[in-house]
Amino acid sequence: MATYPWAAGYVDDGDRPKIVTARFEHEDSYTITRYHATEGYAGLKAALTRTPGEVHDEVRGATVLGRGGAGFPAGTKWGLMPPEKYPRYLVVNGDESEPGTYKDRLLMERDPHQLIEGCLIAAYAAGLSQVFLYIRGEMPLAHERVATALNEAYAAGYVGKNILGTDFSVDIILHWGAGAYVVGEETALIESLEGKRGEPRLKPPYFPAAIGLYGQPTIVNNVETLSNLPWLLRNGVAAYTAIGTETSPGTRMVAVSGHVARPGVFEIVNGTTTFRDLLFGDEFCQGIRDGNSLKAFVPGGGSAPWFTPEQLDVPFEGRVAGAAGSMLGSGAVMVMDDTTDIPTAALTLTRFYAHESCGQCTPCREGGTWLMRVLERVVEGQGTRADLDQLLEIGESICPGKFPHAANSALGLEATPFPYKMTTICFVGPSAYAPVHSALTHFRDEFEARVADTPARRQIPVTAVH
């Protein structure tokens, strides 16, 4: 067993295949010396011996799923750009702010050259002439390490004009975000790069692949997605798809927090590893802390509907998790044991999303705040039974049809596969409601015990926070 204090939370245990964290065992994993000593830039060199189309086919053939949240295959996304429209850009999403998620930070701190090499491979394959690396503002070490690695890569001829003596040229521009959660949404990130307020754009009709940064075709990919490419180019599609399952090949990084004996970031085999393996396996989290029992867990970042012990055997396979009523999202699992006060846990998450609303859409701006305020008074013991129905009613205005409320017999709340129906431009609105809905679905008794049995709705003014 090895834990690396310099990798802050990363745990390497067991004999599993490692694709993106293989270098983490070295204390100097972020230096170009270590990178060269461990096959660094061999993937780029292999790519440059092939045509861009061949490299693109390889990424498509390996079904490299996006690791930023939606799980869309990278090769397919690159193919959505209109042909013959140039320049076209790659934007690297290193904004990582989803509650519970802290894997991309480790990749940037511990292996920045791997990310840079991944960017170069993507740029070569998809004909991208400039890369914008957007790193969250609160990650100074990641910024420092990526900046140093970038200077080293320029000096060594991996980035810039005529890379390694070929006619392939690309520049990588580092941009430091200012710390807004919503800027992780790809179109808000593009707005932010353009120097505007970081607010999501309405889509459809135009996705970034068609009209993105500066109105040009743009690919937005997550840090972990791109970090997979050097290994893929070195080892080939067959080796990549030999790990995991047909629809979820390779590995993925998962950040586990909360009430487990050993929280941390783990690189797990995609598709086959189950939540039970992760939470109770010896090589992973080693069970619930202090001998307590599992009450619930959030399977894919704070936006995801919660699972209970009944879903422990769901594997890390997007479609299965979707059919079970949630999502794998950004690879963050938050665990709650039987000592957890559920209404308070729901409030903590809802408060975050209400605070992070950019304010463009009324259901998110007002609805998120209302959810938070009503939940606050329930948690404080000032709520009524009618407040519980009101929470569902507010949720209905954000996610219509998904969450039948009081009209439904016995509040028959149903788990519905993703995506949500929503009245908002982006997913922040539904994210404010997901914890409330999950908590009320599974643990309504804890709310009932908190509220006065008042049949009529009280009219308590709700104060806006914006």
Residues that bind ligand FMN (CB under 6 A): 66-70, 72, 74, 93, 95-98, 182, 184-186, 220-222, 225, 426-428
Residue 93 binds which one of ligand FMN, ligand SF4, none, with CB within 5 to 8 A depending on kind? Answer: ligand FMN
Find the binding residues for ligand SF4 in span 298-357 (CB under 6 A). 357
Residue 364 binds which one of ligand FMN, ligand SF4, none, with CB within 5 to 8 A depending on kind? Answer: ligand SF4
Total residues at interface with ligand SF4 (CB under 6 A): 14
Least CB distance to ligand SF4 at residue 464 (A): 13
Residue 357 binds which one of ligand SF4, ligand FMN, none, with CB within 5 to 8 A depending on kind? Answer: ligand SF4
- The CA-atom distances, in angstroms, between 315 and each of 11, 309, 320 are 20, 13, 7
- Alpha-carbon gap, residue 209 to 178, rounded angstroms: 24
Nearer Cβ to ligand FMN (48/220): 220
State the binding string over 409-448 for ligand SF4 (x if CB under 6 A, else -): ---------------xxx-xx-------------------
Least CB distance to ligand FMN at residue 419 (A): 11
Residue 19 binds which one of ligand SF4, ligand FMN, none, with CB within 5 to 8 A depending on kind? Answer: none
Cβ proximity of 1 and 13 under 8 Å: yes
Least CB distance to ligand SF4 at residue 333 (A): 24
* Tally of CB atoms within 10 A around 29: 23
Nearer Cβ to ligand FMN (76/286): 76
Residue 67 binds which one of ligand FMN, ligand SF4, none, with CB within 5 to 8 A depending on kind? Answer: ligand FMN
User: Residue from 192, 270, 340, 360 that binds ligand SF4 (CB under 6 A)?
Assistant: 360
Nearer Cβ to ligand FMN (192/221): 221
Q: What is the 3-state secondary structure (H, E, C) of 122-171?
A: HHHHHCCCEEEEEECCCCHHHHHHHHHHHHHHHHCCCCECCHHHCCCCEE
Quote the tokens at residue 132: 């914008």
Residue 225 binds which one of ligand SF4, ligand FMN, none, with CB within 5 to 8 A depending on kind? Answer: ligand FMN
- Alpha-carbon gap, residue 457 to 380, rounded angstroms: 17
Nearer Cβ to ligand FMN (110/252): 252
User: Residue from 94, 177, 200, 318 that binds ligand SF4 (CB under 6 A)?
Assistant: 200
Quote the tokens at residue 25: 């065992």
Nearer Cβ to ligand SF4 (211/361): 361
Name the residue whose CB lies closest to ligand FMN: 184
Task: With residue 11 as reference, give the H or E element that holds it.
Answer: strand 11-12
Phi/psi region, residue 91 (left: phi>0; alpha: psi -120 to 50; beta: rest), is beta
**Cα 402 off chain centre by:** 23
Quote the tokens at residue 461: 């003014």
Work out whether strand 89-94 and strand 171-176 pair parallel, antiparallel, or are unpaired: unpaired
Q: Which one-letter amino acid corresponds to residue 54? A: E
With residues binned 3-state (H G I as helix, E B as strand, rest as coil), the percentages for the chain, rounded to 5, are 45, 15, 45
Least CB distance to ligand SF4 at residue 144 (A): 30
Nearer Cβ to ligand SF4 (118/363): 363
User: Residue from 163, 361, 374, 451 that binds ligand SF4 (CB under 6 A)?
Assistant: 361
Nearer Cβ to ligand SF4 (198/383): 198
Residue 270 binds which one of ligand FMN, ligand SF4, none, with CB within 5 to 8 A depending on kind? Answer: none
Residue-level length of the chain: 466
The reply on whether position 390 binds ligand SF4 by CB under 6 A is no
Name the residue whose CB lies closest to ligand SF4: 364
Least CB distance to ligand FMN at residue 343 (A): 24
- Alpha-carbon gap, residue 131 to 133, rounded angstroms: 6
Quote the tokens at residue 370: 């209302």
DSSP states along 393-446: HHHHHHSTTTS--TTSGGG-----PSSPP-SSSSTHHHHHHHHHHHHHHHHHHH
Nearer Cβ to ligand SF4 (24/433): 433
Comparing CA positions, the residue from 25, 18, 29, 30 lying closest to residue 4 is: 25
Nearer Cβ to ligand SF4 (34/355): 355
- Alpha-carbon gap, residue 240 to 88, rounded angstroms: 28
**Cα 428 off chain centre by:** 13
Nearer Cβ to ligand FMN (95/337): 95
The site for ligand SF4 (CB under 6 A) is made up of 182, 200, 357-361, 364-365, 424-426, 428-429
